[in-house]
């Protein structure tokens, strides 16, 4: 297991792209869809001339973030769903985390669907290797970690299902926040479109 995580960390370091790697004519579009899942933000790689369309040449991918609607304490935390071309996912995750921090209490893994091994590796990397990302522990609905505080309660089947971790050690049992450095770089370079 340790070797697998070390290999994944190396892959992330080598494969992760930055705003400087975006090909000419490619940007990022963040678009609000109020009718889907109670309101979602879609974040895509886009054609700068047609910001709602995929670029004709360049990376493809989308992450969607929405909020829990189950009455738990993590209703202001955004959860992520993704489908991104290899190597280009970490940048969209960073953008989603920054956007979720600006518009709520940060970002967490999807609570409704299974988290892939690749995505688990991303969260593991955020927890242990990113000094620019802050992890905040979430409790479960039974108040296992903070019995007198309901404000941090959240569905935790993802964190508990990862059997090699205790709840408080699992990278899937946390919310994550980040300063908007990637968003600022995109805006400064004229590659960011926001549609509300």
Sign of CA dihedral 10, 13, 17, 21: negative
User: What pLDDT sits at residue 83?
Assistant: 83
pLDDT given at position 15: 56
pLDDT of residue 155: 83
Those residues with Cβ within 8 angstroms of residue 146's Cβ, 6 or more apart along the chain or in another chain: 139, 152
The whole-number pLDDT of residue 18 equals: 87
Tens digit of pLDDT for each residue in 87-103?
Answer: 888 899 999 999 999 99
Residues 20-55 pLDDT 10s: 999 999 999 999 999 877 799 999 999 999 999 999
Q: What is the chain's pLDDT, residue by residue, as a tens digit (196 residues)? A: 343 344 444 444 445 788 999 999 999 999 999 987 779 999 999 999 999 999 988 898 999 999 877 667 788 999 998 888 778 888 999 999 999 999 999 999 887 656 667 777 888 999 999 999 999 999 988 888 888 988 888 888 655 555 456 788 888 889 999 999 999 999 999 999 999 9
Could you give the CA distance from residue 14 to residue 52 in angstroms, rounded to a whole number?
A: 29
| Among 94, 22, 29, CA closest to 57 | 22
The DSSP symbol for 172 reads: G
User: pTM of the entire structure?
Assistant: 0.87
Other CB atoms closer than 10 Å to residue 56's CB: what's the count? 10
Q: Which of 178, 196, 183, 177 is nearest to 27 (CA)?
A: 183
Domain residue extents for the chain: 2-195
pLDDT at res. 85:
78
């Amino acid at each position: 297991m340790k070797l697998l995580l070390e290999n994944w960390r190396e892959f992330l370091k080598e494969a992760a792209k930055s705003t400087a790697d975006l090909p000419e004519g490619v940007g990022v579009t963040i678009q609000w869809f109020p009718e889907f899942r109670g309101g979602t933000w879609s974040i895509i790689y886009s054609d700068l001339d047609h910001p709602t369309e995929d670029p004709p040449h360049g990376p493809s991918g989308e992450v969607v973030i929405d909020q829990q609607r189950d009455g738990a304490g993590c209703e202001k935390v955004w959860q992520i769903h993704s489908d991104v071309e290899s190597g280009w996912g970490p940048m969209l995750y960073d953008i989603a985390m920054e956007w979720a921090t600006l518009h709520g209490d940060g970002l967490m893994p999807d609570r409704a669907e299974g988290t892939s091994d690749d995505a688990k590796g991303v969260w593991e990397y955020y927890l242990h290797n990113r000094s620019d990302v802050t992890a905040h522990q979430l409790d479960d609905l039974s108040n296992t970690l903070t019995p007198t505080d309901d404000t941090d309660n959240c569905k935790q089947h993802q964190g508990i299902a990862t059997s090699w971790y205790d709840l408080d050690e699992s990278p899937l049992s946390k919310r994550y926040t980040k300063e908007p450095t990637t968003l600022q770089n995109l805006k400064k370079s004229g590659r960011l479109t926001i549609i509300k």
